[in-house]
Chains A and B, each alone.
Chain A
């Protein structure tokens, strides 16, 4: 027998009703259903349609898809640190280790706080643990700057899990993407720790003797932060090349278009994310970027809009979140196009916010169900008309 299975079987009697450690029932359940597909079935007498793949397995695919971007992000943290402090640019292993040590605490804080709240709520309501935080927990560290203090992250995660998720009824019921709510909370609460013109994008200190310490505070703006300056006259090809490989300052996981594309391909191949949403976000962003450029409102080329900042990351991993995006097939096009449109609009027309992807996705999360409603209703009307003509 599988030793892990045996372990769970041994633990079970303790956490059942009346057992010694009943308080940890949801915790054990949570890990067991993560390791094995649950053997319980739906109630007899009701209609249940089950896919062979359950939500924990879907979540695992998304986490795997995020790994390239996460690992590249770790490397980039070390790379930016070495670049800023004039360190050894060929020590790739050291850079990665440095980034790993810089990012790991954020991942731990995010999971401990978020899952902690989820377990407490599940135990309190006597429900099964909900798995939604599996993905949010890894998304959150990837969309904050590397210098974001851990206590801020902890508060933001708690805020978003309680107010953006549990209050609406938990996984699958939330209107807004919890990871983006976390970022929005940080963005509006602690702007000095989150915006692009300060020292926030590059790690400035050594960790366990790894990495380099900046002698003066090193200021590095993201390319979009530079573009928001009045003196900006267009990017050099180098910047764009670096934005595609990911060697630019930015949030931990959002910089590399190549790594994100790898994850995106996995999501599309497994059918977890909808290609319609993903494609239409890019089309909407490109079209709006082209329009803005044609109107002379910005120096950023339309294709540059798509590779800079969080656009690619948002389009691939955030906009396609099956819970908060549109569910009707036509709705997905409208939803995606509007996200791309608004994101570029905010970037270009609002000098206060160099990056608009987060705001665009959150805004469209709000309208997703309205878009769905319109398409469902129009379909109903169309069919109703057909029926009445027959009469």
Chain B
């Protein structure tokens, strides 16, 4: 047990959550972060999907890493990711159809998400399955965390709801409050991601160069 949660393994899990966050620090996966975060629910589903796919593709590639010929490794990685994406996409369609309609092409586009390829190349090709699994979970959750923050702000101010439930009381609207239409537009999510990165860097002055 002690070996399973050694310092390195812990670091593989925790560092992408904060100091090495894939979105806030490496600025990867921005495209989908802008596209699916207008509401909280699709943001969470998207974050979880990426987490699951990153974790399992990391494990599979890590198991295969010694047998993959170096020259065709990208193709092999793509095949593995594509298979997992297809499975997740079908699961979403089966169990949360409305969300999968909202996410539309962005589930399929997880294949091209830079975070996935980055982790496979940088981590799973050199490490064993267990650390790779932790690394995948960590990176997926780091990505999901940013998505949830952006989704929270956008849904709250853009629609006045959270998970589809009204949270801004009616008397505020009666007093003249209006939902902010710009929050619903992708442009605003880019600004919010920028603000998150700003806050993150100001908080972690030492770690983030």
- Cβ contact within 8 Å between A189 and B181: yes
Binding site for A on B (CB under 8 A): 176-178, 180-183, 185, 191
Distance (Å) between the CB of B33 and the closest chain A CB? 18
A-B contact pairs, 19 of them (CB 8 A): A149-B176, A151-B176, A151-B177, A152-B178, A163-B191, A185-B182, A188-B181, A188-B182, A188-B185, A189-B180, A189-B181, A189-B182, A189-B183, A190-B178, A190-B180, A190-B181, A191-B181, A192-B178, A193-B178
**CB of B95 to closest CB in A, whole Å:** 35
Footprint of B on A, CB under 8 Å?
149, 151-152, 163, 185, 188-193
* Residues in B whose Cβ lies below 8 Å from that of A189: 180-183
Residue of A149, A188, A189, A190 with highest tally of chain B CB at under 10 A: A189
- What is the chain B residue whose CB lies nearest that of A163? B191
Residues of A within 8 A of B183 (CB): 189
Question: Bound state CA distance, A193 and B177, in angstroms?
Answer: 11
Residues in chain B near residue A192, CB distance under 8 A? 178
Contacts of B181 in A (CB 8 A): 188-191
Complex interface: chain B residues within 8 A of A152 (CB): 178
- Give the interface SS of chain A, mostly helix, strand, loop or mixed: helix
Please, which residues of chain A bring their CB within 8 A of the CB of B191?
Answer: 163
B3 to chain A, nearest CB (A): 47
Can you name the residue of chain B whose Cβ is closest to the Cβ of A167?
Answer: B198
CA distance A328 to B54 in the complex (A): 51
15 new A-B contacts, CB < 8 A, other than A151-B177, A152-B178, A163-B191, are A149-B176, A151-B176, A185-B182, A188-B181, A188-B182, A188-B185, A189-B180, A189-B181, A189-B183, A190-B178, A190-B180, A190-B181, A191-B181, A192-B178, A193-B178
The distance from the CB of A267 to the nearest CB of chain B, in whole angstroms, is 32
Contacts of A151 in B (CB 8 A): 176-177
- A230 to chain B minimum Cβ distance, whole angstroms, is 25
Which chain B residue has the least Cβ–Cβ distance from A152?
B178
Give complex CA distance A286, B191 in Å.
Answer: 36
CA distance A191 to B176 in the complex (A): 14
- Minimum CB–CB distance from B157 to chain A (whole Å) comes to 9
Most chain B beta carbons < 10 A, residue from A190, A192, A193: A190
Shortest B177–chain A CB gap in Å is 8
A191–B178 Cα distance when bound, in Å, is 10
Most chain A beta carbons < 10 A, residue from B176, B185, B191: B176
Q: Which 9 A-B pairs have the closest CB atoms?
A: A189-B182, A188-B182, A189-B180, A189-B181, A190-B178, A149-B176, A191-B181, A188-B181, A190-B181
A146 to chain B, nearest CB (A): 15
- The answer for the CA separation of A185 and B176 in the assembled complex, in Å, is 18
Query: Please, which residues of chain B bring their CB within 8 A of the CB of A190?
Result: 178, 180-181
B-chain residues with CB within 8 Å of residue A149 when the two chains form the complex? 176
Bound-state CA distance A67–B176 (Å) is: 31
Query: Which residues of B sit under 8 angstroms from A185, Cβ to Cβ?
Result: 182
- List A contacts of B177 (CB < 8 A): 151
CB distance from A299 to the nearest CB of B (A): 30
Report how far A89 CA is from B179 CA in the complex, Å.
Answer: 38
- Rounded to whole angstroms, the CA-CA distance of A122 and B198 in the bound complex is 19
Once the chains are docked, how many angstroms separate the CA of A193 from the CA of B182? 13
Which residue of chain B is the closest to A186 with respect to CB atoms? Answer: B182
Residue of A nearest to B157 (CB): A189
| B191 CB to nearest chain A CB (Å) | 7
Q: Complex formed: what's the CA distance from A188 to B183 in Å? A: 9
- Closest B residue to A150 by CB, please name it: B176
Please report the C-alpha to C-alpha distance between residue A192 and residue B177 in the assembled complex, in whole angstroms.
12
Q: Which residues of B contact A191 (CB under 8 A)?
A: 181
Complex Cα gap A190–B157 (Å): 12
CA distance A189 to B176 in the complex (A): 14
Shortest distance between the CB of B100 and any CB in chain A (Å): 29
What CA separation (Å) do A149 and B177 show in the bound complex? 9
Minimum CB–CB distance from B44 to chain A (whole Å) comes to 25
Nearest residue (CB) in A for B195 is A163
B196 to chain A, nearest CB (A): 13
How far, in whole Å, are A163 and B181 apart by their CA atoms in the complex? 18
Q: Which chain A residues lie closer than 8 Å to B185 at the CB level? A: 188
- Complex CA–CA separation, A82 to B182 (angstroms): 34
Question: In whole angstroms, how far apart are the Cα atoms of A188 and B177 in the complex?
Answer: 16
Q: Would you give the shortest CB distance from A5 to chain B, in whole angstroms?
A: 40
A185 to B191 CA separation, bound complex (whole angstroms) = 12
CA distance in complex: A190, B158 (Å): 11
